[in-house]
């Protein structure tokens, strides 16, 4: 775990909640400054970004609170109260304290707001985002200083699977806005673009399928999507921490089971046998979430369908259909390197004259 001032670290009750809201140290990967004029205020968004990166904040929120759609995590049928207690139990049972840099907390909130085609998967995402927004407004958005920040996670170009979080007040459409954009690390591990390219090529040219399974009906997108889905599932459900949570009798177990069920429902699989009972198995649950290359269910199948019909599919298909055999893998690798980035969150900070 990185320094406390870097990324969000969440605790539930008295034990670290090493799940979705816990992530590695934030790393500013690149910064690009943009301003509409020469008025001299173009440095302000960069200064705001630096302040958000350096300032550590503490955020308190309650997963029992309702989100913008009026849904509460603990009232969901997918949520089992700790120790089989009733969901009416209060006394801070579901309060979470999170700390980290402002930009790290905002990036974490984007990951917590994971959704597909606008359908959020975790009810507490909105609640967490609102708490981060309040913290950033109090710390960075003074009455005379207009600041708006947006964090967005897209694992690949044009992905329908994404997460977004905002903080501050949205700039008026009539104002001249200066902005700075940066990329920070997420808690999802990177994928090897060479592996994506070779798995794509292998599935496209094989009559019997990839090493995953003998299936002549699958295509390259199915194979590449499995690799990407494994990375995403590992990021959201790291094996050691998640296994520990599933074996607990406290709130982190309830949240882990809820997260698994919500994700499973969204990709049409069932993980209950792996996450409930006396012998939970995080590894088996993760494999079920990813799915098989020859299945229509699982995150891999969802990603494959989305890639195949999206902007990334158009480019990858063009490369595959038009490239000579001796260069196609290299060209695919270059494209995947540019188009696939689950390990990063894009953050943009905007300012304008008050």
- Are 212 and 319 in the same domain? yes
- Residue 2 is assigned to a structural domain of this protein: no
- Residue 4 is assigned to a structural domain of this protein: no
- Residue 334 is assigned to a structural domain of this protein: yes
**Mean pLDDT of all residues in 285-314:** 96
Q: Residue 352 has which token pair?
A: 């304008």
- Are 101 and 171 in the same domain? yes
- Are 13 and 74 in the same domain? yes
- Are 346 and 335 in the same domain? no
Distance in angstroms (rounded) separating the CA atoms of residues 316 and 323: 11
- Are 136 and 197 in the same domain? no
- Residue 118 is assigned to a structural domain of this protein: yes
Q: Which residues of 290-323 are buried (b: 16+ CB within 10 A; e: fewer)?
A: bbbbebebbbbbbbbbbbbebebbebbeebbeee
pLDDT value for 290: 98
Among 3-17, 130-144, 294-308, 310-324, the least confident range: 3-17
Q: Residue 1: pLDDT band by 50, 70, 90 thresholds?
A: very low
Contacts of 60 (CB under 8 A, 6+ apart): 95, 96, 97, 98, 131
The string of pLDDT tens digits covering residues 202-227 is: 999 976 544 444 455 689 999 999 99
- Are 214 and 174 in the same domain? no
- Residue 3 is assigned to a structural domain of this protein: no
Q: Which residues of 178-206 are buried (b: 16+ CB within 10 A; e: fewer)?
A: bbbbbbbbbbbeebebeebbbbbbbbbee
- Are 141 and 217 in the same domain? no
What's the total number of domains in the chain?
2
- Are 95 and 176 in the same domain? yes
- Residue 323 is assigned to a structural domain of this protein: yes
Helices (H), 59-173: 102-112, 124-140
Distance in angstroms (rounded) separating the CA atoms of residues 132 and 149: 11
- Residue 1 is assigned to a structural domain of this protein: no
- Are 146 and 87 in the same domain? yes
- Are 118 and 239 in the same domain? no
Distance in angstroms (rounded) separating the CA atoms of residues 193 and 196: 5
DSSP letter string, 50-61:
HHHHH-EEEEEE
The string of pLDDT tens digits covering residues 256-274 is: 999 999 999 999 999 999 9
- Are 114 and 54 in the same domain? yes
- Are 65 and 106 in the same domain? yes
Q: Quote the domain boundaries for residue 332.
A: 193-339
- Residue 271 is assigned to a structural domain of this protein: yes
- The label of the residue with tokens 């000579």 reads 324
The string of pLDDT tens digits covering residues 316-344 is: 999 999 999 999 999 999 999 999 999 99
């Amino acid at each position: 775990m990185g320094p406390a001032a870097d990324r969000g670290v969440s605790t539930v009750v008295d034990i670290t909640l090493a799940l979705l809201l816990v992530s590695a140290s934030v790393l500013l990967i690149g910064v690009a400054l943009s301003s509409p004029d020469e008025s001299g205020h173009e440095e302000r968004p960069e200064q705001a970004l630096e302040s958000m990166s350096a300032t550590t904040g503490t955020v308190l929120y309650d997963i029992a609170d309702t989100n913008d759609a009026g849904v509460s995590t603990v009232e969901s049928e997918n949520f089992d109260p700790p120790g089989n207690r009733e969901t009416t139990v209060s006394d801070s049972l579901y309060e979470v304290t999170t700390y980290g840099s402002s930009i790290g907390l905002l990036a974490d909130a984007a990951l917590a707001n994971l959704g597909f085609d606008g359908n959020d998967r975790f009810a507490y995402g909105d609640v967490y985002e609102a708490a981060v927004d309040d913290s950033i407004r109090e710390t960075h958005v003074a009455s005379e200083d207009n600041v708006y920040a947006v964090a967005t996670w897209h694992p690949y170009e044009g992905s329908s699977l994404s997460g977004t979080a905002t903080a501050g007040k949205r700039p008026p459409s009539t104002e001249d806005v200066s902005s700075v954009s940066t990329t920070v690390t997420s808690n999802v591990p990177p994928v090897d673009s060479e592996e994506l390219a070779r798995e794509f090529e292998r599935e496209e040219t094989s009559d019997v399928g990839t090493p995953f399974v003998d299936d002549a009906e699958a295509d390259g997108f199915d194979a590449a999507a499995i690799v990407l889905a494994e990375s995403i599932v590992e990021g959201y459900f790291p094996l050691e921490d998640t296994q520990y949570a599933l074996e607990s009798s406290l709130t982190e177990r309830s949240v882990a089971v809820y997260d698994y069920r919500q994700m499973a429902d969204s990709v049409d699989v069932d993980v209950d046998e792996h996450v409930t009972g006396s012998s939970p198995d995080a590894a088996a649950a993760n494999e079920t979430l990813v799915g098989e290359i020859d299945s229509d269910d699982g995150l891999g199948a969802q990603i494959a369908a989305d890639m195949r019909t999206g902007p990334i599919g158009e480019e990858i298909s063009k490369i595959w259909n038009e490239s000579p055999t001796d260069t196609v893998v290299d060209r695919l690798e270059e494209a995947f390197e540019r188009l696939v980035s689950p390990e990063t969150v894009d953050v943009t900070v905007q300012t304008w004259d008050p």
